Amino acid sequence: MNRLAGLTRFLVPSPCYLCGTPSVEDNGLCARCASDLSADKRTVPHRCPRCAIRVSEAGQRCAACLQHPPHFDFAVAGQDFNAASRYLIHQFKYRKDPGVLNALMQPLFLSIEQAYGRRQDGLTNNQLKDWPDVLIPMPIHPERRQVRGFNQARLIADRIGRRFDLPVHGKAVVRSGSSESQSGLSAIDRRKSLKNAFEVRQALPRHVVIVDDVMTTGSSADALAHALKRSGVRMVSVWVLARTPAPGDIPH
């Protein structure tokens, strides 16, 4: 949201995106909903370092990653894909309301800083986690791009790039496979539909981050990471706004 829009919201508060309470925050949420949505809370969930799904202990890998490790090496999620985050992401993704992106980005920024350390804190390279070289927005099929009018992953990547001073390579990879939506498909069907779906068209540096809105089964990220590593990339991380919980794991 630009400065003028923020001033307008301050002078004439608009309803909170989630509860309808008048809000004067730039992110479009009231203070309570912003606090509930934020990852900077007393009870930040432990997540599998490989796929970012909830686990019971810090540093613990989930059973799925132990049995069948994905091609990507590390993942960060801003929050779980629950009722609140689902509503905001759908408003952003399907109703073309970019204002809600402000509310969604803050938890992801905090999670990235918690995982990697803040470079502006004066830490040495040895004290920092291996920060990536470039961000790659998850490509969408040209037909879906034409219908939607934008790639939501590119907008997210641009925000991350500005926040952490990281370059975004939006044309390095193209999606040439099926334009069918992945939502509603089983994990097996997702993998089948994504076989050879991505083509890397530019030489890329050693460490690349895939940026997307939601990780559900991880099939799309896995297929893209596989293509990136075949092209010569050594390390692939994934950063997403939200991670779908495991079946039966209902986030509070």
Are 3 and 124 members of one domain? Answer: no
Into how many domains does the chain fold?
Answer: 2
pTM (2 decimals)? 0.84
In-domain check, residue 252? no
95 and 27 housed in the same domain = no
The partner residues of 235 in beta bridges, in order of sequence, read 207
Contacts of 115 (CB under 8 A, 6+ apart): 74, 76, 129
Which residues are paired to 175 by β-bridges? 198
85, 79 Cβ separation under 8 angstroms? yes
Q: What is the pLDDT of residue 35?
A: 75
> Which segments of the chain have a pLDDT < 50?
1-2, 4, 6-10, 40-42, 124, 127, 250-252
Domain shared by 204 and 87, yes or no: yes
Instruction: Tell me how far apart the alpha carbons of residues 117 and 146 are, in angstroms, rounded to a whole number.
Output: 38
Residue-level pLDDT at 153:
96
pLDDT at position 15:
85
CB 202 within 8 A of CB 171: yes
The one-letter amino acid at 4: L
- Residue range(s) defining the domain that contains residue 192: 46-243
CATH of the domain at 142: 3.40.50
Same structural domain, 128 and 206: yes
Quote the pLDDT of residue 222. 96
Q: Are residues 118 and 73 in the same domain?
A: yes
Q: Give the per-residue pLDDT at 53.
A: 95
Residue 184: enclosing H or E segment and its boundaries? Answer: none
